[in-house]
Amino acid sequence: MTSDLALFRRRLLKNPRQVSAIAPSSRTLARAMTLGLGPQSGQVVEFGPGTGRFTEAILARGVPPENLTLFELDDEFVAYLRQKFPGVTVHQAPAQEAAQRVSGKAAVVISGLPLLSMPETVREGIVGAAFQIMAPRGSYVQFTYGPRPPLPPEQIAALGLKVNKGFKVWANLPPATVYRFRRA
């Protein structure tokens, strides 16, 4: 099996815009993104798992593989994820299709997608899809490298959300901040 780093570098060189990161997420960021998850969390959905760093952390927190669904576009990442995480559902599909592919309600949606590098309509579609599949008290967890939330205030208001700033993770390249979004 190819190493995470080798696969990440190969995909970054082939499609830098889609990968949109200079290095894989750190284990420290993965722990911050998955804080609060456990065996009783219920259904968890992950958007943009890449090589599966957050996926590993979700499973390490005790979420059963059958309660985890991934959405990834890159065909090599999809094949790698399916081999590395048996029992986890992996869709080769955009996050915006989550409502058509996820049955039941997710307690948490974790996103490794580069929202700020996407057009506003795509960002809105991704976050809207997350809240379509989410339980009423669920949360959408997203990180960003910038100093502000990964959605502008007007988009947060238009989607009827509130946001809580989480940890700044210095042990990531580049440093990242975790945000949790909920329905207002």
Neighbours of 19 (CB within 10 A): 21
Residue 13's pLDDT is 53
**Crossing angle between the packed helical segments 4-14 and 75-84, to the nearest 10 degrees:** 170
The answer to whether 53 and 110 have CB atoms below 8 angstroms apart is: no
* Cα 49 from Cα 28, distance rounded (Å): 16
pLDDT at 20 over 60: no
Chain segment 108-130, per-residue pLDDT in tens: 999 999 888 888 899 999 999 99
pTM: 0.89
The CATH number that domain 4-183 falls under is: 3.40.50.150
